[in-house]
Amino acid sequence: MQGIKALLGMGLVHRLLHVNVARMSSMPALIPAIKNGEKVKPTFSKAEMDSRVSRLRTHMQEAGLEGALFTSIHNVNYYSDFLYCAFGRPYGLVVTMDRITLLSANIDAGQPWRRISVGENLVYTDWQRDNFWRGVKQEIDVCGKVSKLGIEFDHLTMNGLAKLRQFIGGESTVDVVDIGVSCMKMRMKKSDEERALITEGARICDLGARAVVEVCDAGVGEHEVALRATEVMVREVAKSYPHAELMNTWTWFQSGINTDGAHNPVTSRRVQKGDILNLNCFPMIAGYYTAVERTLFMDHIPSDRHLELWEVNCKVHRRGIELIRPGARCCDIANELNEIYREHNLLQYRTFGYGHSFGVLCHYYGREAGLELREDIETVLEPDMVVSMEPMITIPEGMEGAGGYREHDILIVTEDGNKNITGFPFGPEHNVITK
């Protein structure tokens, strides 16, 4: 009897599952934009966004592309002014020669439509699996037969590529080519509006740095210092950009052993007198990144060797700033700065390149790898590029002067040199914190 009841129960479960699947299949896979509320003030002007799309379409035409599918946070944001939060779901921007459509998840409701400043919004639902790819197919089909499609090789996963081919056709039907590198190169030169936003970000960086110095003291935890700096920056972003979403602004404040890595997270370690310190403040505005990073000491510099190492790194920093000018190659800048470290027998303690580009990027999206001050990058600097100068050396624990030494300024390349938009001072004469 128990076995019969169990079988009947299983049959009931199967019938219910069948009914539920049938019900879900009748629910919509795709729905038009959810026009809930009013459109918000965009980050950039219509002329700015139209210029970006125009340059993209010119490239598409020259490369013989009928369409492009962007899936990365940075390119979706760059061409639509929408910064998505994936949380496990795909997002995309389909661009053809006469149409732009943001594909967003239904969980976001009306937010994507309110935020995009160009094109249309198509929403995919969770009612059936792979509805995102159904939306991609629908938008690509709008422009007719597509034989060549641009995608981001550095972002779309192998699984994503398989899904794309499943829905739009195999290799014999559609040729997919990389558009990521070309778009990165287009993003490397910043417009007037971008440079203005980055300059504002640099100003807010300085406020965060000052907050670090104000709250930092012996006995205070790294996390308390970082929280205060982040609070100051978020409030200033909110004040200066009341129409913006407040996302991703953060501070890394490191002390003692924790200074050995530039990207080491905040801990609850308490600052001690004589500690080497690193402040790193990152206000984020509409997906755009800015930063200030500084070496400091708490109360006093504990040895002559610490001072010597700090001064050498500042020497490299100053020379690096002088080398940022149009016509300079990234690799040549790196090689010349290497010689200063080599003269002091410190080159082996350098841990990464001397700087990178700015724009739509964060610690999890958007690095413009073609514009980094490294020995293997031959890119020539041009006016309107924006780069950092950020030399760092790490002396291992147990050696005299142990710790990580790092400075970081933001420089806009001009017609005859550069404009340094970082205001917070650096060096021993400024950054020994005494209370």
Would you name the residues annotated as active-site residues? 263
- In whole angstroms, what separates CA 237 from the centre of its chain? 17
Q: Distance between CA atoms of 435 and 429, rounded to whole angstroms?
A: 16
The four Cα atoms 193, 199, 202, 207 give a dihedral, to 10 degrees, of -110
CA distance 275 to 255: 6
- Amino acid letter, 195: R
Compute CA distances 80 → 57, 98, 232, 286, 399, whole Å. Answer: 14, 15, 29, 11, 50
Q: Which residue has the tokens 């019938």?
A: 15
Could you give the 3-state DSSP secondary structure of residue 219?
coil
From the list 106, 108, 114, the residue with the least C-alpha distance to 80 is 114
**Rounded Cα gap, residues 162 and 170, in angstroms:** 9
CB atoms within 10 A of CB 146: 19
Q: What 3-state DSSP class applies to 264?
A: coil
The residue assigned the tokens 């100053």 is 318
Per the CB < 8 A criterion, the answer to whether 35 and 122 are in contact is: no
In angstroms, what CA-CA distances link 146 with 64, 99, 171, 172, 295?
10, 14, 12, 12, 54
Contact call for residues 387 and 381 (beta carbons, < 8 A)? yes
Report which secondary-structure segment, H or E, holds 84: none
- Give the β-pairing of 67-70 and 92-96: antiparallel
Three-state secondary-structure class, residue 8: helix
Helix (H, G, I), strand (E, B) or coil at 155: coil
